[in-house]
Structure 1
Amino acid sequence: MDSIQHYGAFLAACVALALTPGLDTFYILARSGREGRLAGLGAVLGILCGCVVHTLAAVLGLSAILMTSALAFAVLKYLGAAYLVWVGLRMLLTRQTAHTGATTRGRGFAAAFRQGLLTNALNPKVALFYLAFLPQFIAPHAAHPQLGLLLLGLSFIAIGFVWSLVLALLGARINQLLRRRPRIGLWADRLCGGVLLGFGLRLALQRRG
């Protein structure tokens, strides 16, 4: 912990960031609301694994490449945007009318995990956030700054995990309502697809600045 400064302020900032709605918040609520608690847990674990990827990238200095290379940033940005658009269009165009609990392509724990991982890991803005946010709490002239970055990243992930579980449980309660009213569930799919499509288009138009 000698490599870290203002750890209490860092934890407070992490709580505030976790409570701020964003793509991860919406995705967890959408998956658990559509498919129940297990899919919500898959989404949570996928997103957290994406955060682990960004933490390791920050520790190894790989995130710095995105800040200095316009090409690397653009490639990752458009990959992430294309994936979000693809997932959103699938939800918009699906003809499934009932939430029967059956696992189909694009549904279930594995699909929720994979999509959560990719939507988070392919977002260059998240990588740049880690690179800009974590180093602020590394002590000057720290003997092991990489270890400090790793501990800060894991702390951020732990706080996010607790709040994400709350969101997954909340979404599971919504799922119970949708099971009783399949027509509402179908329109919920359309809404979720439209929002994911919007996130994808916004990511594609974002700049590094």
Structure 2
Amino acid sequence: MLDNLAALVAASFLIALSPGPGTALVLRQSVRGRRTALATVAGMEVGVACWAVAAALGLSVLLTASEVAFHVLRVTGALFLVYLGVKALLSARKDSSAVEPAPPSKAFRSGLVVNLANPKLGVFAISFLPQFVPAGEAGKGLLLLFAVVWVVVDTLWYLVVVGVLHRIRGWLARSKVRKTLEGVSGGVLVALGLKLVLTPR
């Protein structure tokens, strides 16, 4: 059991390291302050927790069974990513060096929607968590425990990222650096949105 748990922690950490929409969003929001970045992370992790718990309870299997549900979520998530990306690209073109922090509630919603509207995260959770269940054992309780571990590891990683970015926020907030970060994160978000909508199941 401990070996399986250790393997889950290691795998969760490697997954957290992989760049994706969350990384791009946190990078952009960190320029606006630690509170905004932390609210974004909180929203993202609530989204991850929803998918993880749904997978543990067997609910996210509905995504694999329903083409309509999968594609509706896929298109919704893609449109939202493109929307965030375009906002970042437009912000990068502004001459003002002042960066207005987004309200924490708005940052939370952005993080939440980015992960909740990503059906591939749900499908991934279905295939990811059961791999670490010891042979001969079953039960929703164990899968729920693994879901919690996955969310905790993912949260800790993003808290480290936010902490590091906060330490260099003064440099990040410089006009040229800010514009570059906005442009890069905006381009990444748009690209990920297009990839999500264009990539088949």
Under a length normalisation based on structure 2, what TM-score does the superposition of the two structures give?
Answer: 0.89
Unmatched 5+ stretches in structure 2: none
Q: Offset of 1:69 from its aligned partner?
A: 1.7
SS at match of 1:31: helix
Q: Offset of 1:206 from its aligned partner?
A: 1.7
1:182 aligns with 2:175: yes
Aligned counterpart in structure 2 of residue 68 of structure 1, from 65, 68, 71: 65
Which residues of 2 match residues 1-209 of structure 1 at below 5 A?
6-32=4-30, 34-94=31-91, 96-98=94-96, 100=98, 102-103=100-101, 107-140=102-135, 142=137, 145-179=139-173, 181-208=174-201
Q: How many residues are matched?
A: 200
SS at match of 1:35: coil
Amino acid at match of 1:184: V
- For 1:8 and 1:78, how far apart are their aligned partners in 2? 36
- For 1:122 and 1:169, how far apart are their aligned partners in 2? 27
Under a length normalisation based on structure 1, what TM-score does the superposition of the two structures give?
Answer: 0.86
- For 1:97 and 1:139, how far apart are their aligned partners in 2? 57
Q: Offset of 1:129 from its aligned partner?
A: 0.8
- Give the fraction of aligned pairs with identical amino acids, expressed as a percent: 36
Q: Offset of 1:60 from its aligned partner?
A: 2.8
Unmatched 5+ stretches in structure 1: none
Q: Offset of 1:141 from its aligned partner?
A: 5.0
Q: Quote the RMSD (CA, aligned, Å).
A: 2.1
Contact 1:35/1:108, CA 8 A, preserved across alignment: no
